[in-house]
Structure 1
Amino acid sequence: MTRAGFSAVEAARAIAVPSADSDKYSRGVLGVVTGSDRFPGAAVLGVEAASRTGVGMIRYLGPERPAALVLARRPEVVTADGRVQAWLLGSGTSPDRDPAERERLVGLLEQRLPVVLDAGSLDLVPEAQGPAVLTPHFGELVPVLAAAGVETSKDEVAADPERWAVRAAAATGTTVLLKGATTMIADPDGLGYAVRAGQPWLATAGSGDVLGGVLGALLATHSPELQERPALLAELAAAAAWIHGEAGRVASRGGPIQALDVAEAVPAVIRRLLAGA
């Protein structure tokens, strides 16, 4: 059963505020494997959004061309392998990958860390061994369900997204964030949220990549808690959707926006949340 609504007070609880004793590791390190030669911007947008949501460090371990663009935008990003607390995988990629790359990604999932699986990594759902959030749009949910033995169509999902988000969470054993004008979040235990997007201007290329970055950051900053309280995953997914929608509203102010505008508005949204809290 999906619970209607998600409030600013609830979203504020998802923000990990550093203390005087915090360092870049205790604040959360997000590992990112996103983007491709064909869609390099997805890497830039996800990393930009994650960096503005409050992680201590980002390790970008994707292809060379997106890596160069990420570093040009965010020189503080680390491109060397090492310790992480959560993963963001798949934005701007295709499931048509070579065997060596698939083996690498499966190896990351075997670390049992919290993970966001988006776009080209949704086929790896059966390999996820830690807390996982899937972030499909309507069309991407269809093959996810098919792999779990559930047949449907994009039109059917669009007609009743709440039902299909709940069905997908139960079928895959993961938390599902189904993107749309109203974002539906459901977990395998039946916990769910419906989060209304900020406004229609958010329907723009790359907006989902920004959402993935926000969510990845929240998972990294709450990684230890997620091991103890799996239900927190749905709350963090709802908080990411809320922050993303509000950042769209702040960036737009009633006019057109692009995805990078949304990412750049995230700190203002978080400041308001913390001031209100």
Structure 2
Amino acid sequence: MIATRPFELDDARRLVTAPALRDSKYTRGVTLLATGSEEYPGAAVLSCAGALAGGAGFMRYLGPETPTSLVLSRLPEVVVGGGRADAAVIGSGIGSARDDARATELRELVEMDLPTVVDAGALELIADTTPKSCILTPHESELDKLGEQLGLGTISTQKSGRRRTRTVRGKQARSVAEHTGQIVLIKGAATRIVTPGAETAHLIEAPSHWAATAGTGDVLAGMIGAFLAGAAARSSMPLTNEEMAWQASLGAWVHAWAAWTAARRASGDHITAEEVLDAMSHPAMAAGFMGPIRASDLARAVPTVLAATLAEA
């Protein structure tokens, strides 16, 4: 059995900071995103939107023509091209990183000491590179595929109950983390963040399940990248695995509450940061009418969740 520790509001308050008098776009963190593709250009917009909503001070985007044009038309704050960065996000909306035009840059990012979120099509690079400072963000089928590529096998969840499924997925994530030396965030209604060598995994139980829709994982990847960049920019030393795991957990927690907030708004409820704070303080009592959301709705709700987190109880 994998021991878990719930990530809670007090944890988030310890990690979320507001800009101070001497802060600039650079001290708030530079985030580089190599996401999206000609086949899935929307993932580029959603991952960039997640990073901006998460408070990225400066954002760079590296991608092909169609997603680049789409990003600039929707998010003019983004700067196109590579360069100095405090953290990176790669893979969201990329079918195969090995076949992508950015393959060389993606491999270099995986093997640098730069905190890097590795998502979707970039996960295949983990098996044939030497990853240095990565957070792997697979969903269940991607975790299966990655385990197989690493020679760890797969775990079938057919005929397994919900509790058993969570247990075996936790064990599988632990195996991948220990084998690669990298943090593994396994996405789902109950998100686990497993750190190699750590005795417990962080656990985020979603207050609603409206985030189960296309593109929300892209938003999550971008948001975690922004949190990592901010933490790295504030630190005089490279981030440790433990520090990176806390930022990944913060991203998953904010993401879960942003989905809840967006779902409340979908019902016509003009929910305020004060009401979000009340729900976060008493998650067992979080209720209200809710409706379907899109990934972009979730991204728009992130600033409200962060404002609630920063507010005094």
Aligned ranges for residues 1-277 of structure 1 at < 5 Å? 1-95=2-96, 97-98=98-99, 101-126=102-127, 127=129, 129-153=131-155, 155=157, 158=165, 160-190=168-198, 191-223=200-232, 225=235, 227-253=238-264, 254-276=290-312
Give the Cα–Cα distance (whole angstroms) in 2 for the partners of residues 65 and 119 of structure 1.
Answer: 19
Q: Where does the alignment leave 5 or more consecutive residues of structure 1 unmatched?
A: none
Tell me how far 1:112 sits from its aligned partner.
1.6
Indicate how the Cα distance of structure 1 residues 131 and 93 shifts in structure 2: closer, same or farther if over 3 A, else same. same
The answer on whether the counterparts of 1:145 and 1:171 sit within 8 Å (CA) in structure 2 is no
Q: Deviation of residue 101 (structure 1)?
A: 3.0
Distance 1:268 1:88, change over 3 A: same
How many angstroms apart in 2 are the aligned matches of 1:163 and 1:96?
Answer: 26
- Distance between the aligned counterparts of 1:25 and 1:11, measured in 2? 23
**How far apart in 2 are the matches of 1:100 and 1:70?**
18
Q: CA deviation at 1:162?
A: 1.7
Q: Is the 8 A contact 1:115 1:132 kept in 2?
A: yes
- CA change 1:175–1:72 in 2 (3 A) is same
Q: Is the contact made by 1:138 and 1:179 (CA closer than 8 Å) also made in structure 2?
A: yes
Shift of 1:13: 2.2
CA RMSD of aligned residues (A): 1.9
Name the CA distance, whole Å, in 2 between partners of 1:202 and 1:110: 31
Consecutive aligned runs of 4 or more in structure 1 exceeding 4 Å deviation: 156-159
Taking structure 2 as the reference length, the TM-score comes to 0.83
Question: What CA distance in whole angstroms lies between the structure 1 residues aligned with 2:100 and 2:72?
Answer: 27
Deviation per CA, 1:119-178, whole angstroms, max 9, x where unpaired?
Answer: 000012253543210000000011211222200145279452222222221122110000
- 1:202 is paired with a residue whose SS is coil
What SS is found at the alignment partner of 1:200?
coil
- Give the CA deviation at 1:111: 3.3
Partner SS state of residue 276, structure 1: coil
Mapped partners of 1:96, 1:86: distance in 2: 18
Please state whether the residue corresponding to 2:157 is helix, strand or coil.
helix
Give CA-to-partner distance per residue, 1:89-136, whole Å, 9 cap, x none. 000001264376322212233432000000000012253543210000
Matched position secondary structure for 2:238: helix
Q: Normalization by structure 1: what TM-score?
A: 0.93
For structure 2, the residue ranges without an aligned partner over 5 or more in a row are 159-163, 265-289
2:184 and 2:252 mapped to 1: Cα distance? 12
Structure number, greater radius of gyration = 2
Counting matched residue pairs gives 277
Query: Counterparts of 2:248 and 2:194 in 1: how far apart (Å)?
Result: 9
Deviates more, 1:123-132 or 1:52-61: 123-132
Q: Deviations over 1:185-234 (max 9, x none)?
A: 10101241111123121101101111111111111111254725321111
Contact 1:198 1:249 in 2 (8 A): yes
* Higher relative contact order structure (alpha carbons within 8 Å, sequence separation ≥ 6): 1
Letter in 1 for 2:79: V
Give the Cα–Cα distance (whole angstroms) in 1 for the partners of residues 301 and 245 of structure 2: 23
Q: Distance in 1 between matches of 2:74 and 2:293?
A: 19
